[in-house]
Chains A and B, each alone.
Chain A
């Protein structure tokens, strides 16, 4: 019985969290929090978001990344973004993004759903 309990606890703690279904409309509202530093189309204080999915971290041309982000090495997708957005400073120590992060999993899912839609929209991102 103890073994079974330990196994179940292990499963629960080791299994990756299931991503919540994101709502792009809600995500657009959440994205307003990012707009002091980011824009979809252009580099600002932070790098542009157009073309984000499938892009290697630290690779937007003409943007001055921290050395930590240049070395981070991941490709941005739902999972890598979810981890970074939750706690940027913990995920990439040395990142220039001095922000606590989006702690609510549903909000992250919504934000990522919006980013996925907007950053591949040809009307926005040429």
Chain B
């Protein structure tokens, strides 16, 4: 496959921090950005918080894995500019997601899952830039599905909305990676 020329960082100088470009409710922002005064804990039942903690921790684990995967890609020596810059940018998004999710779990009274000590990635199969991008695309597609599976069962609607905003970011990653691989970036009208 042919790598399509990309200008991945047209807005390099004005990179946004997580959530600054979204309009989220005060509660969601409080939960995801760590505002002590606006947290949900006081208004949510313990069971509700427990369920949401489980769901958020699942997402957090996947985000930590994505960070590790992009680190592997960046250090592989297989990525050329500007693709490497793109990978680092996407990794930064995942770091922002992970930070926000960890804070939300803490706000709900839970304990954020720790990153795994070692991730078993298929290193032996990553022999070219396209291999790395394909692997990243697989994880991003999975992340979209994971958030799609989380949004409807988060009991707090503000958290669901915040998770949906992350879903949108993951979907953009997936589309850009597919484009870089020479594939149809948006193959379907619906995600599943």
Contact in complex: B119, A32 (CB < 8 Å):
no
Contact in complex: B142, A36 (CB < 8 Å):
yes
With a cutoff of 8 Å between Cβ atoms, the chain B residues found around residue A45 in the complex are 58, 61-62, 64-65, 116
Query: Is B139 among interface residues, defined by CB-CB distance under 8 A?
Result: yes
With a cutoff of 8 Å between Cβ atoms, the chain B residues found around residue A44 in the complex are 65, 119-120
Known: A45-B61, A45-B65. A32 touches B120 (CB 8 A): no
Query: Is A101 among interface residues, defined by CB-CB distance under 8 A?
Result: yes
Query: Is A37 among interface residues, defined by CB-CB distance under 8 A?
Result: yes
B residues 101-138 in Cβ contact with A at 8 Å? 116, 119-122, 138
A51 to chain B, nearest CB (A): 15
Contact in complex: A99, B149 (CB < 8 Å):
yes
With a cutoff of 8 Å between Cβ atoms, the chain B residues found around residue A30 in the complex are 192
The CB with the most chain B CB atoms within 10 A, among A30, A37, A98, is that of A98
Q: Report the interface size for chain B: residues with CB under 8 A from the other chain.
A: 30
Query: Is B28 among interface residues, defined by CB-CB distance under 8 A?
Result: no
With a cutoff of 8 Å between Cβ atoms, the chain B residues found around residue A57 in the complex are none
Query: Is A97 among interface residues, defined by CB-CB distance under 8 A?
Result: yes
Task: Determine the distance from Cα of A100 to Cα of B51 in the docked complex, in whole angstroms.
Answer: 11
Query: Is A20 among interface residues, defined by CB-CB distance under 8 A?
Result: no
Contact in complex: A96, B57 (CB < 8 Å):
yes
A88 to chain B, nearest CB (A): 9
Query: Is A123 among interface residues, defined by CB-CB distance under 8 A?
Result: no
Task: Determine the distance from Cα of A33 to Cα of B95 in the docked complex, in whole angstroms.
Answer: 21
Contact in complex: B145, A33 (CB < 8 Å):
yes
With a cutoff of 8 Å between Cβ atoms, the chain B residues found around residue A89 in the complex are 51, 54-55, 153
Query: Is B150 among interface residues, defined by CB-CB distance under 8 A?
Result: yes
Query: Is A42 among interface residues, defined by CB-CB distance under 8 A?
Result: yes
B123 to chain A, nearest CB (A): 11
Known: A42-B120, A43-B120, A44-B119. A95 touches B54 (CB 8 A): yes
1/0 contact trace for A37-50 toward B, CB 8 Å? 10101111100000
Task: Determine the distance from Cα of A95 to Cα of B58 in the docked complex, in whole angstroms.
Answer: 10
With a cutoff of 8 Å between Cβ atoms, the chain A residues found around residue B149 in the complex are 33, 99-101
Task: Determine the distance from Cα of A30 to Cα of B192 in the docked complex, in whole angstroms.
Answer: 8
The CB with the most chain B CB atoms within 10 A, among A36, A41, A42, A97, is that of A36
8 A-B pairs closest in CB distance: A36-B142, A98-B58, A98-B55, A33-B145, A42-B120, A35-B142, A99-B149, A45-B61
